[in-house]
Each structure stands twice: as C-alpha cells, then as structure tokens.
Amino acid sequence: MSEDIYSKKREKLIELLREEGIKDERVLSAMNKVRRECFVDETEKENAYLNYPLSIGYSQTISQPYTVAFMTELLEVNPGDKVLEIGTGSGYQAAILKELGADVYSIERIYELYLKAKENLNKLNYNVTLKVGDGTLGWEEYSPFNKIIVTAGSPKIPDTLFNQLAIGGIMVIPVGDTYSQDMYKVRKSIDRNGKIIKSIETYKEFVFVPLIGKEGWDYDLR
Ligand code: SAM
C-alpha cells in the first residue's frame, strides 16, 4: 500500500462535512478511512478531497463527498446489515458501506465501470459482491436487503426494489426529473393487519446522473 499522503486533506474534508451538518460520527469516521483518491483517475487525484463530484468516464461521476455522507447518514447502516447499492460507479460508496460493517452487494449497468470498481475495491481489500446489470430490477437471489441505496436519479421508487427491501428496512433514493431530484428516505413497515406500509421523508435538492433501466428512465436517454 502506498504512503497515505492525502490524510491531512481527508481530515479537512471531514471537518467541512461536520460543518455542513453531517452528525453521525460513524459515517464521518468511515469517510475518514476510505481513500477517495484511489477511486478517481490519475488526473483527478489532486482534486479527490474537494467537495465536488468528479468524472469517472462514460458520462458518469463519483458523487460529491457531502452527498455520499448525507445519503449514508440517512441509510442508518448497522454492522451486519445486508445492503444493496444500485450504481457502483467507482466503488467509493460501496467502500464506505464496508467500513460501516455492512455486507455489500452492488450493481452497475456499465461493464467498464464494473471492471474498474472491482479493481479499485480489490486493491484496497474491500470484499463487495458486484454484478453488471439493470439495478432497477434489484438482486432477487440475495434479497431481502436491510438497506438499499440508489446512487442515480430515478423518476420514481422502483417497485421491484421496494419489494426486495426487508420489513423494517430503509431505502435512500433520489427521485425527480432528469435535472434535479429530492432525496427520499423510504421506510418499509407492516401494520397490525399485515399490510405493508411505505413511508417517505424527502430532502431537497440534488443533481444525479439518470438511473437508466426498466423501472428507471428509458434506455435511449444516454
Ligand atoms: N456510487 C458511485 C460511486 O461511489 O462512485 C457513484 C454512482 S454514479 C453517480 C451513478 C452510477 O449509476 C453510474 O455509474 C451509472 O452507470 C449507474 N447506473 C445508472 N443506471 C443504472 C442501473 N439501472 N443499474 C445499475 N447502475 C446504474
């Protein structure tokens, strides 16, 4: 493992996230452990600890650190949780979830990004179960999931993903049009009569690349 010359920059970023309102110390500590510079291109390494999204190629981005922290805080990850991520991208968010002790499954639709994320995660010894495919259809084989995090903007909450969420589970997903989205924190519970309840809290306002798939945006958008 190369020397960690970015640790000071990383600590500064964590301070900034704290100032911006991220309160969960477990999330901040996880973000202080994961080397974001290892998930971006060589030319972007110097920018890895700026609070910006960065390009990872194929018209896709690694999300802004604040957004990663905000979504992870909403997800309320406990050690041992089975977490499904839709939109592996660089693998950075998956690494944060691993640092929180989750058992992580992640789906990416672009094959080249899947390969790169696999390499990034392997190099840092993060053991994440990955696949290429349409994440709007979830991962039936491993369901139900305690938590689901969708890291691309969706026109709606995909029914299949909600069905694959465990009772008592939480899904965090940006929902809106292709220009801006609100962050939805979706809880799945069950009432006394056995009826499934979907309750939603929303938080303004985010901008994500589109979730492209059967229960997302049309394939020909891209
Ligand atoms: N979580 C990523 C990270 O930490 O680098 C950033 C994700 S990027 C903002 C969104 C990703 O979602 C892109 O890599 C995109 O290809 C992927 N994506 C879009 N639609 C998808 C789908 N239906 N299934 C799986 N991945 C999808």
Environment class of residue 95 by beta-carbon count within 10 Å: exposed (0-12), middle (13-18) or buried (19+)? Answer: buried
**Residue 72 included in any domain:** yes
**Residue 220 included in any domain:** no
pLDDT on residue 220: 61
CA-87 nearest atom, ligand 1: 12
**Residue 219 included in any domain:** no
**Residue 216 included in any domain:** no
Which entry of 59, 63, 106, 154 is annotated as an active-site residue?
63
**Residue 215 included in any domain:** no
Q: Give, for all 222 residues of the chain, the pLDDT tens digit.
A: 566 889 999 999 999 999 999 999 999 999 999 999 999 999 999 999 999 999 999 999 999 999 999 999 999 999 999 999 999 999 999 999 999 999 999 999 999 999 999 999 999 999 999 999 999 999 999 999 999 999 999 999 999 999 999 999 999 999 999 999 999 999 999 999 999 999 999 999 999 999 999 999 996 654
CA-107 nearest atom, ligand 1: 25
Cα gap 197→190, rounded to integer Å: 6
How many domains is the chain built from?
1
Assign residue 195 the CATH number of its domain: 3.40.50.150
**Residue 89 included in any domain:** yes
Is 7 noted as a catalytic residue in this protein?
no
Cα gap 50→36, rounded to integer Å: 10
**Residue 211 included in any domain:** no
Largest CA distance in the chain: 57
**Residue 221 included in any domain:** no
Residue 39 CB neighbour total at 10 angstroms:
25
The range of the structural domain enclosing residue 119 comes to 3-206
